A and B are shown apart, each in its own frame.
Chain A
C-alpha cells in the first residue's frame, strides 16, 4: 500500500510539472488549454492520493473541487474564448520556443536547488516532491512574462496558482477547505472576468484594424 501511495504521488506531481512544460512547448492555444486541463486533473489526483493516505475527508472534497474547477470548468471557458477568436490559435511568444524550453530547464534546476534546502527541514515522501510545485510556479511566471496572447497569459496565471496549490498540498497536506474554496473560486472569477475583457478587447482591435484598412483604401 505504501509503495503504491508513493508511486502514485510521484506520478501525479510529475504530471503537474510536465503539463506546465508542455504548455510552453505547444503553440496552438487549443492544445495549451488541453495541457492545462490535464494539469488540473493531475493536481486533483495529488490531493485525492494524499487524502486517501491520511484519511482526511476535507482534502477529498478539496480534490473534487479542484477536479471540477481546474480540470473541467476553467479549460471549457478558455476553449470557448479561443473559439471566439480565431487568431488566438497561434501564440507569438517574446522568447522563441526552443529558448524558452531551455530557460524552463534552467528554472526547473533552480527550483530543485532552492527547494531541496527547504524540504530537507522536514523530510517525508510528500515534502520531497515540493520542488516540483516550485518549478511549476516558476514556469508559470515565465509564461506570464514572455507570452503576448491574452489566453496564454491567463494560462500562465493558472499555472502559478496550480504550482502554489501543489506546494501547499505536499507541504501541509492542504490548507483548510474554506481557503481552497476561496482561491479556486477566485481563479474561476478571474477567468470569467478576463474572458469578458478579452472579448471586448478583440471587438475594439478588430474595429480599429478595420478603420485602418478603410483609411488605406481611401
Chain B
C-alpha cells in the first residue's frame, strides 16, 4: 500500500501550495497524471485520498486522475509502439529491448482547481 505514502506526499505538496496562497482558497479538484508503467494503482490512490483528506482542508476535494499509456520508441525501427504490459516489452517488429520510454512513467501533480468568491 505505497499509495498511502504517495497520497501523504500529494497532500503535503498541495498543502505547501495552499499555504502560499494569501486567500487560502477552497480546493475543488486536484489533477494527477499517472502513467500505466508505474507502481501506482489509481483506484488505491482514490481510496487513500478520500480517507486521508477527511476533516482536512481538502475534505470534499475531487482527485482527478488521468492515466497515460505506456509508449516506447524503437530506435532501430524508428517507430513508436505500445508494449503489452505483463506480456511483452520488446519491439513487436524487430525484438529490440524497450529502452526509450516516451510515455507511461509519469507521476505528476498537474494542476489544481480552486474557487474564489468576489
Same complex for A and B? Answer: no
